[in-house]
Amino acid sequence: MAVVTYFKALVSAILSVGILVILSWQAVSAPGYIGQTKVVVNKVFGKSLSRSIRQGDRVYQNQRIRTGRDSSTDIRFLDESKLIIGELSDVLIDRMIYDANKSEVAGSLRMLKGVLRFASAEAVKTNLQVKTPSAVLGIRGTVFDILASPGGTQVAVHEGAVQVESASGTVIVAEGQVYQVGRSTTDGFSTEVSQAMKSAVSRMLAAVGDKGLKLPSESKALEPPPKQVFQEPKEQIAVLSPTAEEAAALKGRDLENILVLDLSFGRVMIEMMPAVAPNHVNRIKALARQNFYDGLKFHSVKSGFAAETGDPSGTGRGGSGQKLRAELSKTPFIRGIVGMKRDATNLDTADSQFFILMGRARHLEGKYTAWARVIHGMVLVDRLRQGSPPSNPDRIKSLRVAAEVFRDVR
């Protein structure tokens, strides 16, 4: 009898533990759970003004966040992205789906009014859409501020790039740029953020106490003039004499078809191939003359394969906004060849991104456009920090057409 009683007690205990484990797992994996509030300051509400949101509360899909005066909240999503919402704001988090296996997050927000800052996690690929009353913003991994109202939207990008779609068309707002869309103002880039945004962002960051993010007064987005994607070429740049080695590499070549790529540790010279890919060559030269590539990261460097750059967002998914049709050839894809990156499933999607081959790549031949080759400084390409992305990527200091850089070359 004692044995039976003991057995029943043991089974009951096992079942109790099992139920507890199941309930605990369900709580952790609750449907729609996307993050939680790290900081809540003063009056922050959900869908109902009768229910306050508190520090440590979970955030779910279709969560509405509303803030009162002198109120803010800092939300951390499952992928460690940050969403900081300032005072007098109304934001609806439609969805936020994080795939830990692929390190990817996709989602959408609706911002009716107010101010916010979004900072994507560094190691996670982000595909986020933000809708405001006057624009739709496409995000591919970045840090930016938004000030929105029924009358207009202002975007200041601190890192990466944001694609803005409005009644005026589609533009890419790159790192250090400010763009405004409004019913009462002309859409376009601005030399600095408005006083209203500067004040709203400063109060928001001070309230949540996040010292790891820049205040507007410290941000590149306040440095006039902004670096616009399509700007008029400068009339004159410094003209220099090449070194002896550079002169030897340039001898007998057309300087109009040579690119000078300056790195922090040396100079690479690239000879373009207009007979092979004329449209690509013309496009790259135009972008170089607009200083488009200056400061851009080598966002993927794989030893023995290729170094990729040319994306204002630094993620490998951005560009200038103008697509090119493929110009395929029989050019062998050997070390030093420069090719154009594109979408894997569409030949005619090259934009501004390109790669420099660091080894043979037969599998790319006839599938990607080759438009240039390195004629000097390939050993410097080998020195680029590796990774996809590198932990501290190298950047292009400048990319210029040689005819505008050198003199006394015979």
Give the pLDDT confidence score for residue 7 in this predicted structure: 44
**Which range has highest mean pLDDT (29-38, 133-142, 210-219, 331-340)?**
331-340
Tell me the CATH number of domain 244-404, given options 2.60.40.10, 2.40.100.10, 3.30.70.260, 2.60.120.1130: 2.40.100.10
User: Among the listed ranges 127-136, 340-349, 364-373, which one has the minimum average pLDDT value?
Assistant: 127-136
Q: pLDDT higher for 22 or 76?
A: 76
For the segment 303-341, what is each residue's pLDDT rounded down to a tens digit?
A: 999 999 999 888 888 888 889 999 999 999 999 999 999
Give me the residue spans of the domains in the chain: 33-222, 244-404
User: Which tokens in the block code for residue 337?
Assistant: 């060849």
Distance CA 97, CA 194 (A): 33
Whether 33-222 shares its CATH topology with 244-404 is answered no
Do 202 and 285 touch, CB atoms closer than 8 A? no
Q: pLDDT higher for 187 or 390?
A: 390
Q: In the CATH scheme, what is the code of domain 33-222?
A: 2.60.120.1440
Distance CA 253, CA 376 (A): 13
Distance CA 53, CA 66 (A): 9
